[in-house]
Amino acid sequence: MCPGISDDLLTTDDATKTTIIDGELIRLNIYIAALQETIPQGRELHFLLEGEGART
Protein backbone atom coordinates (compact mmCIF):
# COMPACT_ATOMS: atom_id res chain seq x y z
CA MET A 1 0.00 0.00 0.00
CA CYS A 2 2.29 2.74 1.30
CA PRO A 3 5.86 2.75 2.60
CA GLY A 4 5.97 2.06 6.33
CA ILE A 5 2.45 0.64 6.43
CA SER A 6 1.82 -3.08 6.73
CA ASP A 7 0.36 -4.81 3.68
CA ASP A 8 -1.63 -7.08 6.03
CA LEU A 9 -5.07 -5.46 6.14
CA LEU A 10 -5.96 -7.38 9.30
CA THR A 11 -3.19 -5.63 11.27
CA THR A 12 -3.74 -2.14 9.79
CA ASP A 13 -6.05 0.01 11.91
CA ASP A 14 -9.28 1.45 10.52
CA ALA A 15 -8.10 5.08 10.71
CA THR A 16 -5.12 4.29 8.48
CA LYS A 17 -7.31 2.41 5.98
CA THR A 18 -9.78 5.30 5.92
CA THR A 19 -6.98 7.82 5.32
CA ILE A 20 -5.56 5.82 2.42
CA ILE A 21 -8.98 5.26 0.82
CA ASP A 22 -9.89 8.94 1.28
CA GLY A 23 -6.67 10.03 -0.42
CA GLU A 24 -7.29 7.71 -3.37
CA LEU A 25 -10.90 8.87 -3.79
CA ILE A 26 -9.78 12.51 -3.78
CA ARG A 27 -7.00 11.74 -6.28
CA LEU A 28 -9.56 10.12 -8.59
CA ASN A 29 -12.07 13.00 -8.11
CA ILE A 30 -14.66 10.67 -6.58
CA TYR A 31 -16.88 12.23 -3.94
CA ILE A 32 -19.24 10.08 -1.89
CA ALA A 33 -21.58 11.78 0.55
CA ALA A 34 -23.70 8.88 1.80
CA LEU A 35 -24.74 5.42 0.74
CA GLN A 36 -27.59 3.81 2.62
CA GLU A 37 -29.14 0.40 2.14
CA THR A 38 -32.91 0.61 1.88
CA ILE A 39 -35.58 -2.04 2.37
CA PRO A 40 -35.03 -5.02 0.05
CA GLN A 41 -37.73 -5.44 -2.59
CA GLY A 42 -37.86 -9.02 -3.73
CA ARG A 43 -34.36 -10.45 -4.04
CA GLU A 44 -32.56 -7.25 -4.99
CA LEU A 45 -31.10 -4.74 -2.56
CA HIS A 46 -31.75 -1.09 -3.29
CA PHE A 47 -29.43 1.71 -2.26
CA LEU A 48 -30.07 5.41 -1.80
CA LEU A 49 -27.28 7.83 -2.69
CA GLU A 50 -27.50 11.39 -1.43
CA GLY A 51 -25.08 14.26 -1.74
CA GLU A 52 -23.58 16.78 -4.11
CA GLY A 53 -23.37 15.36 -7.60
CA ALA A 54 -25.70 12.44 -6.85
CA ARG A 55 -27.39 11.11 -9.96
CA THR A 56 -30.94 9.80 -10.01
Structure confidence by residue, pLDDT tens digits, 36-56: 656 666 666 666 666 555 454
Q: How far apart are CA 15 and CA 36, in angstroms?
A: 21
SS3 41: strand
Contact 32, 24 (CB under 8 A): no
For the whole model, what pTM was predicted? 0.42
* Residue 4 pLDDT class (50, 70, 90 cuts): low
pLDDT at 54: 47
Contact 51, 34 (CB under 8 A): yes
Contact 31, 51 (CB under 8 A): yes
Mean pLDDT for the chain?
Answer: 69
